[in-house]
Amino acid sequence: MKKLVISLATALLASIFSLPAQNSRKVDLYSISGRENVTSLDGMWRNIVDPFENGYYDYRLNPTDGGYAQDRSYDDHTRLQEYDFATASQLAVPGDWNTQSDRLYYYEGTVWYRKRFDYDLAEGKRLFAHFGAANYETIVWVNGKRVGQHIGGFTPFCFEITDVVKKGENSIVVKVDNKRHHEGVPTVNSDWWNFGGITRPVSLIETSSTFIKSHAVGLKNKDVKKIECSVTLDGPQAAGREVTVEIPELKIKRNAVTGADGKLSFEVKASPELWTPENPKLYAVNISSGEETVKDEIGFRTIETKGNKLLLNGKEVFLRGICIHEETAYDSGRAWSREHAHTLLSWAKELGCNFVRLAHYPHNEEMVREAERMGLMVWSEIPVYWTIHWNNPDTYANAEAQLSDMIGRDINRANIIIWSVANETPRSEPRNEFLTRLVNKARELDGSRLVGAAMEKDEPVPGKLTINDPLGKVLDVLSFNEYVGWYDGNWEKCDRVDWSFDIDKPVLITECGGGGVYGYHGSDKERFTEEYQTALYEHHVAMLKRIPGLSGVAPWILKDFRSPRRHLADIQDDFNRKGLISDKGQRKPAFYVLQKWYKELAGQE
Ligand code: GCB
């Protein structure tokens, strides 16, 4: 009996002090775009760099028991206090910390951010704190109250703060920790910079007590004459409430009433002009309920496969692509703005692209929306990269949450044609199960797009290349990375190999290419010279033309990008040099080799 009492008491204490606080304030309100009453919290935020997490771990307190870097200012000098937000340095939000301060270039750990803001929330309104993304683990306090936690560096998150915001001055304290974890997604090893910080915008969203939480508007079951609209409300009056969906240019205005679950869905006949790369037509869509309206710009298109053909709006399409990391054009920090997106995507257009692979994680919303306006189809991916912990249920839950959030945010983007669940994952039974579950989840969340993953090639007989990955049977496309002529032989190998496939699906090369340093000259046999990279692209293009059923290519990569794996002094200097454009924006000769082929292909359409 005594034992039982003790263990019950222990369990109770554990539940009070040790269990992570539940995210009860977390709301799937993915985007600020098109919403009224949004207040930006972007700008300079005070910060304290805290590798030992002193702000968090008051040694008398359990870490989950509210211990945190309280919003203190060192104004009372009679009291011992060893930090002071008021005099702390500042970091720009949004922005990575690595490129803002020399001492944070390689930093991986905790940084505390603080911002003060004035607010006056009217009676009956609700308020949410929305983050576009922060890498990797984020905990948020408002006026001293912990309001939520998020894991994952590239997906949006939003916490309700209605009951903690006060009239007048408020304080928001955010702990961002970019330490890598073996069980994380991604895991400890990757080939891109582990930028830390609040990397995307922070906003306050004010809504009515019942508000429009999400909407999905698109063609119904690939029928180009039927549009399906679904809306979800949140709040005390969410059930049985009227919602109006309007697409003025199509003369559509429909009222419908939500069910007991706060959701509604209806379809309507229409003949929209279809979204294509040549004519990226978007329609204004207004969704209103009560006094609130959410505005969007939505395109309509179908994407499907037929044998080894890829069909956009029922017509065969070839993806003239390029891979892109979310890094700014000239200073190679984390990109987050529409301007950043526009520069990178203009380069892709100059190359002749109609498709971009946004590697290796969900890029910011501006990137996807700007690509949509510019007529670029998109491959969007979660960072299930290399050696994930396939047997760990928490790792799976993390990957699935990132997948759901990626799809939740971008469900209305016509230009996204493929959701990718992974990149270059070594084969094993647990990996196949893990990825098959993710593929099924993607299809359950969105049946209107294709599902892919970047697999790896096989060479069962020397010179005979193929894909034997069992995942190929599960995916909609036979998508894979091949580095013939770089990791696999010299460029001469491109001339010697033949490709064939047993599976009748569209073949997509999601990576190929090799390094070259802008302005570094030598023989075309010498690695990292412009001459090597140019020869590699020339021979590669000739090889690609011989691949049966090839439906698209996205070489690696648009621009040189920061990577901690790339150590060669005077050649790499912390940059992966496979860009067709240097980190300073200079076009390497290989850029023009690919551009020439893409122009030929575009002419053939
Ligand atoms: C790959 C990876 C990519 C790397 C690239 C490289 O296969 O998918 O993330 O950056 O190769 O340059 O090695």
- Mean pLDDT on 66-88: 73
List, for residues 305-358, the tens digit of each pLDDT value: 999 999 999 999 999 999 999 999 999 999 999 999 999 999 999 999 999 999
Atom of ligand 1 at shortest range from CA of 563: 10
Q: Is the pLDDT of residue 74 over 80?
A: no
pLDDT band at 272 (very low <50, low <70, confident <90, very high): very high
* pLDDT of 6 higher than 50: no
Predicted local distance difference test score (pLDDT) of residue 67: 53
Residues 2-9, mean pLDDT to the nearest whole number: 44
Distance between CA atoms of 259 and 320, rounded to whole angstroms? 44
By C-alpha distance, which of 200, 211, 229 is closest to 412?
229
Only one residue has tokens 């306006």, namely 373
The whole-number average pLDDT for the span 47-66 is 69
pLDDT at residue 132 is higher than 60: yes
Q: Which long-range contacts (CB under 8 A, 24 or more apart) does 246-249 make?
A: 246/285, 246/286, 246/287, 246/288, 247/217, 247/283, 247/284, 247/285, 247/286, 247/298, 248/284, 248/286, 249/283, 249/284
Would you say the CB of residue 578 lies under 6 angstroms from ligand 1?
A: yes
| Nearest CA owner, ligand 1 atom 3 | 191
- What is the separation of C-alpha 541 from the centre of its chain, rounded to a whole number of angstroms? 29
Q: Is 226 helix (H, G, I), strand (E, B) or coil?
A: strand
Q: How far apart are CA 47 and CA 55, in angstroms?
A: 12
Give start and end residues of each alpha helix (H) in 411-503. 429-445, 471-474, 493-496
> What's the full length of the chain, in residues?
605
Q: Which residues are bridge partners to 176 per DSSP?
A: 111, 138
- Ligand 1 and 424: CB distance under 6 A: yes
Count CB-CB contacts under 10 A for residue 518.
19
Q: Is the pLDDT score of 556 beyond 70? A: yes
pLDDT higher than threshold 50 for residue 504: yes
- Mean pLDDT, residues 16-27 taken together: 63
pLDDT > 70 fraction of the chain, expressed in percent and rounded: 93
Q: Does residue 19 register a pLDDT over 70?
A: no
Query: Is the pLDDT reported for residue 212 higher than 80?
Result: yes
Q: Which residues pair with 345 in a beta bridge?
A: none
| pLDDT score for 22 | 63
**What is the C-alpha separation between 415 and 376, in angstroms, rounded?**
6
Name which residue sits closest to atom 4 of ligand 1, judged by CA: 191
Is residue 576 lining ligand 1, measured as CB closer than 6 Å?
yes
Q: Assess whether the C-beta atom of 560 lies below 6 angstroms from ligand 1.
A: no
Mean pLDDT of 227-245: 98
Q: What does the pLDDT average to over 104-133?
A: 97
pLDDT at 58: 55
Distance in Å, CA 580 to ligand 1 centroid: 14
> pLDDT, tens digit, for every residue of 444-456?
999 999 999 999 9
* DSSP-assigned beta bridge partners for residue 113: 47, 174
Report the separation in Å between the CA atom of 436 and the middle of ligand 1, taken as the mean of its atom positions. Answer: 23
Residue 364 in contact with residue 132, Cβ under 8 Å? yes
**Ligand 1 lined by 511 (C-beta under 6 Å):** yes
Query: Which atom of ligand 1 approaches the CA of 359 most closely?
Result: 9
Average pLDDT of 98-105?
A: 97
Q: Is the dihedral of CA 91, 92, 97, 102 positive or negative?
A: negative
Ligand 1 atom nearest the C-alpha of 454 is 8
Instruction: Using most ligand atoms within 8 A of CB, pick from 326, 387, 424, 567 the residue to mutate for ligand 1.
Output: 424
Strands 263-269 and 223-234: antiparallel
Cα of 514 from ligand 1 centre, angstroms: 10
Per-residue pLDDT at 171 exceeds 90: yes
- Does 481 sit in the ligand 1 pocket, CB within 6 Å? yes
Distance CA 516, CA 523 (A): 12
Least confident span in 8-12, 63-67, 506-510: 8-12
Query: pLDDT value at position 294?
Result: 98
What does the pLDDT read at residue 16? Answer: 36
Q: From ligand 1's centre to the CA of 220, what distance in Å?
A: 37
Q: Quick one: tokens of 7?
A: 């263990």
Distance, in Å, from the CA atom of 291 to the CA atom of 268, rounded to the nearest integer, reads: 24
Asked if the model's pLDDT at residue 33 lies above 80, the reply is: yes
Residues facing residue 435 across a β-bridge: none
Does the Cβ of 177 fall within 6 Å of ligand 1?
Answer: no
Residue 359: closest CA among 322, 323, 405, 335 = 323
- 418 to 302, 357, 449, 466, 475: CA distances (angstroms): 12, 9, 6, 22, 10
Residues 6+ apart with CB under 8 A from 178: 107, 108, 109, 135, 136, 137, 153, 194, 195, 196, 197
pLDDT score of 355: 99
Cβ of residue 420 lying under 6 Å from some atom of ligand 1 = no
Mutate-to-test residue for ligand 1 from 576, 577, 580, highest number of ligand atoms within 8 A of CB: 576
How many CB atoms neighbour CB 330 within 10 A?
12
Alpha carbon of 237 to those of 206, 359, 472: distances in Å? 17, 41, 46
452-502 residue pLDDT tens = 999 999 999 999 999 999 999 999 999 999 999 999 999 999 999 999 999
Nearest CA, atom 10, ligand 1: 191
User: Quick check: helix, strand or coil at residue 474?
Assistant: helix
Q: What is the mean pLDDT of residues 120-130?
A: 97
604: confidence class by pLDDT, cuts 50, 70, 90? low
The predicted structure's pLDDT at residue 170:
96
Number of alpha helices (DSSP H) and beta strands (DSSP E) in the chain? 9, 33
pLDDT band for 14, please (50, 70, 90 cuts).
Answer: very low
Residue 15 has pLDDT above 70, yes or no: no
pTM of the model: 0.95
Tell the burial category of 131 from Cβ atoms under 10 Å away from its Cβ (0-12, 13-18, 19+): buried
* C-alpha of residue 552 to centroid of ligand 1, in Å: 18
Report which of residues 376 and 20 the model is more confident about: 376
Report the distance separating Cα 178 and Cα 151, nearest Å.
10
In this prediction, residue 542 carries a pLDDT of 98
For residue 53, what pLDDT is reported? 85
| Contact call for residues 541 and 495 (beta carbons, < 8 A) | no
Partners of residue 484 on adjacent β-strands: 488
CA–CA dist 423, 436 (Å, integer): 14
